[in-house]
Amino acid sequence: MWLYLLSVVLLLAFGWLIRDRQKIGDVKDKYVLITGCDSGFGSLLAKRLDHQGFCVLASCLTQKGVDSMHRGNSSRLKAVLLDVTDRVSIQKTADWVQAQVGEKGLWGLVNNAGRAVPIGPTEWMKMEDYHAVLGVNLLGLMEVTLTFLPLVKKARGRIVNVASVMARISFAGGGYCLSKCGVESFSDSLRRDMQNFGVQVSIIEPGFFRTAVTNLECIEKDLHRLWDRLSPEVRESYGQKYFEKYVQVQRFSMNVLCDSDLSKVTDCMEHALTARHARTRYAAGWDAKLFWIPLSYMPTILADFLLSALLPKPSQSVR
């Protein structure tokens, strides 16, 4: 009996591996638009897809990013300025992309542009802090997707949205975890709607990686900004030692836990664009696979205990 069950499991696993390794055909006439190509995942993905023969449309927030994309890549790769929080900029880019792809449509849309800060205890936040992050990570992603969706439908292509393991379990306050949770929800509903049109939607869930978005200097600077603007009463309730230890936790997370191998994420993005059967979700990084995702399935009381052990206690804590 057990041998029979084991054989069935092995056959299913072998069948899944064969299916997972099947690739699409010729990519030379396929266009892929990637947001957030100034650095990090977007920049690396654009270069790798260009090397494979895709027609890459790399959008950057800065002119420096555009110039960087044009250096050292083939003539197939074209870069454009795009601010995902600006409706006029999105529409201008959409007109440019339409002229590039013509009747072929857009094979791939990779919503990679993102922002992390402000991050910190929830009580330290103001509504404008949430708007700053949600505007890029969620609302910008949604507007870009809805704008380019007709072109993706025409090509019966792929949409790849970058979420995070922090969408599953919120480790810090601020708009980051909230926005990534929204990306997951938006992507789920979009996937079910688009499967009837031959469009595949995939979600990337990276763990902790060292990128420009997770720059330690930027995070520390923003934490000091949040701390300095707190009222004396709130600062006193946390205490200076809490703030100092909170900064130390961020340093530990960035210097020790963050993976510098960005290809672990771009490999997932590539698979979602080139596999005949793209996966629904991709977990990138060993911390995502072995800690954060398993933790998200644990009882809340256990998850709270483990996460609370990583953070300092306020001076006026009742515990």
The question of whether 130 is a catalytic residue gets the answer no
pLDDT, residue 263, reads 93
pLDDT, residue 314, reads 87
* Cα 218 to Cα 224: distance, rounded to the nearest angstrom: 10
Given 4, 31, 130, 176, the catalytic residue: 176
pLDDT, residue 22, reads 77
Q: What is the DSSP letter of 40?
A: H
- Pairing state between β 119-120 and 173-174: antiparallel
- Residue 294 structure tokens: 């398993």
E strand residue ranges, 220-301: 281-284
* Cα 91 to Cα 142: distance, rounded to the nearest angstrom: 13
pLDDT, residue 256, reads 73
pLDDT, residue 215, reads 72
Tell me the domains of the chain and their CATH numbers: 27-210+261-308 (3.40.50.720)
**Strand ranges across the sheet with 31-34:** 78-81, 55-60, 31-34, 108-111, 158-162, 200-206, 281-284
pLDDT, residue 231, reads 94
Long-range CB contacts for residues 22-25, cutoff 8 Å, separation at least 24: 22/275, 22/276, 22/277, 23/274, 23/275, 23/276, 24/274, 24/275, 24/276
pLDDT, residue 317, reads 65
**β-strand partners of 173:** 120
pLDDT, residue 214, reads 65
* Cα 98 to Cα 295: distance, rounded to the nearest angstrom: 43
- Per-residue pLDDT tens over the stretch 160-183: 999 999 999 888 889 999 999 999
- Per-residue pLDDT tens over the stretch 61-98: 999 999 999 988 888 999 999 999 999 999 999 999 99
pLDDT, residue 16, reads 62
* Cα 56 to Cα 41: distance, rounded to the nearest angstrom: 14
With a cut of 50, which residues of the chain have pLDDT below it?
none
Of the candidates 202, 166, 194, the residue with the CA atom closest to the CA atom of residue 182: 166
Of the candidates 44, 88, 92, the residue with the CA atom closest to the CA atom of residue 69: 44
